[in-house]
């Protein structure tokens, strides 16, 4: 399928969706149930204060943050929420590939003033709005620190109840911390058996002063759901 077809036709057929987005591809499975539980925990947090923009990050790459963000956004869409998923990881973008949508004219073009939001959004299953990362800019941190990103989030808030940001890992890249500062809540994704405790601690410390919601432990093995545990910060 060519780029024009992907852009003009909503990606509302599950054939385009990566199997790891289990909230859409295997909604009756154990892993999808764990994502629904995580989404419900976020709803509980929303009872205490408004949380529209949720940023997901990790200490390093390979922790499963993109899959977690995609599944949470899919959970929201399946529940009838007006939801958006934004790929803020310019170096290793994953969202467009996960949903089988065109990746051009994405977030980087939007923040550079080359496109408008309506041109950059892709439509996913259950009405989920998807904003791919687009091209990798020379200085991602400057884009997130500028007024354009703040204005984009305000525009998204106006049309969506829930907005999920897939950020770069915290420890290697400064722009992740800049983008995290724009969110109403931050979730750190940790791969079970893969991330040293010291690195997790460094990532959490780097987020000091930001609204950290908690950590999600992924890849817990076949005896449990692949995305199982959630540790909320009280």
List the pLDDT tens digit at each of the 234 positions of the chain. 344 334 434 344 688 999 999 999 999 999 999 999 999 999 999 999 999 999 999 999 998 999 999 999 999 999 999 999 999 999 999 999 999 999 988 999 999 999 999 999 999 999 999 999 999 888 888 889 889 999 999 999 999 999 999 999 999 999 999 999 999 999 999 998 888 899 999 999 999 999 999 999 987 754 344 444 444 444
Coil, strand or helix: which one is 231? strand
pLDDT at 168: 95
CATH of the domain at 189: 3.40.50.300
Q: Where are the beta strands (DSSP E) in 97-200?
A: 122-123, 129-131, 162-166, 185-191
**Distance (Å, rounded) from C-alpha 182 to C-alpha 145?**
9
Note down the domain range covering 19. Answer: 3-232
In the chain, the number of structural domains is 1
Exposed, middle or buried: residue 117 (CB in 10 Å: 0-12, 13-18, 19+)? Answer: middle
Give 48-96 as a DSSP string: TS---EEEEEESSSSSSHHHHHHHHHHHHHHTT--EEEEE--SSS--HH
**Distance (Å, rounded) from C-alpha 74 to C-alpha 67?**
10
Can you give the pTM of this predicted structure? 0.89
């Amino acid at each position: 399928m060519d780029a024009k077809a992907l852009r003009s036709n909503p990606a509302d057929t599950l054939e385009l969706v990566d199997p790891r987005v289990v909230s859409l591809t295997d909604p009756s499975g154990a892993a999808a149930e764990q994502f629904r539980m995580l989404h419900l925990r976020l709803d509980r947090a929303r009872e205490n204060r408004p949380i529209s923009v949720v940023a997901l990050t990790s200490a390093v790459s390979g922790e499963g943050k993109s899959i977690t963000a995609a599944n949470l956004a899919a959970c929201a869409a399946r529940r009838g929420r007006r939801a958006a998923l934004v790929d803020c990881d310019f170096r290793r973008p994953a969202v467009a590939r996960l949903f089988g949508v065109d990746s051009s004219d994405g977030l980087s073009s939007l923040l550079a003033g080359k496109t408008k939001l309506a041109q950059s959004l892709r439509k996913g299953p259950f009405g989920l709005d998807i904003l791919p990362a687009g091209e990798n800019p020379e200085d991602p941190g400057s884009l997130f620190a500028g007024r354009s990103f703040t204005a984009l989030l305000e525009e998204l808030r106006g049309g969506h109840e829930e907005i999920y940001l897939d950020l770069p890992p915290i420890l290697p890249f400064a722009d992740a911390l800049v983008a995290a500062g724009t969110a109403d809540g931050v979730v750190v994704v940790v791969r079970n058996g893969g991330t040293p405790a010291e690195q997790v601690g460094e990532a959490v410390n780097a987020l000091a002063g930001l609204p950290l919601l908690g950590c999600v432990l992924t890849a817990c093995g076949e005896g449990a759901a692949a995305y199982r545990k959630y540790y909320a910060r009280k």
